Amino acid sequence: MVAHVEEVCVSASQQGKGLGLILIQALNATAKDLGVGKLILNCSKENIKFYEKCGYSIAGQQMELKCSS
């Protein structure tokens, strides 16, 4: 099973306190408990180092088409 991580953010005033790392670690643990084989996410260039620190690696590019309802 593959899961897609969406909209994880920490308020600018709370950044640098380790909250993002705690959120991602909890998400990773929950995914593992649910039997997820791979987590994927999109992030800005500015956040790549953070996600690499959390164990994620760059794996190609993703494209999307947003459709209005």
State the pLDDT at residue 57.
93
32 φ, ψ (degrees, to nearest 5): -60, -45
pLDDT tens digits, residue range 11-49?
999 999 999 999 999 999 999 999 999 999 999 899 999
| Model pTM above 0.85 | no
Sign of the C-alpha dihedral, residues 60, 38, 6, 64? positive
**Does residue 7 register a pLDDT over 90?**
no
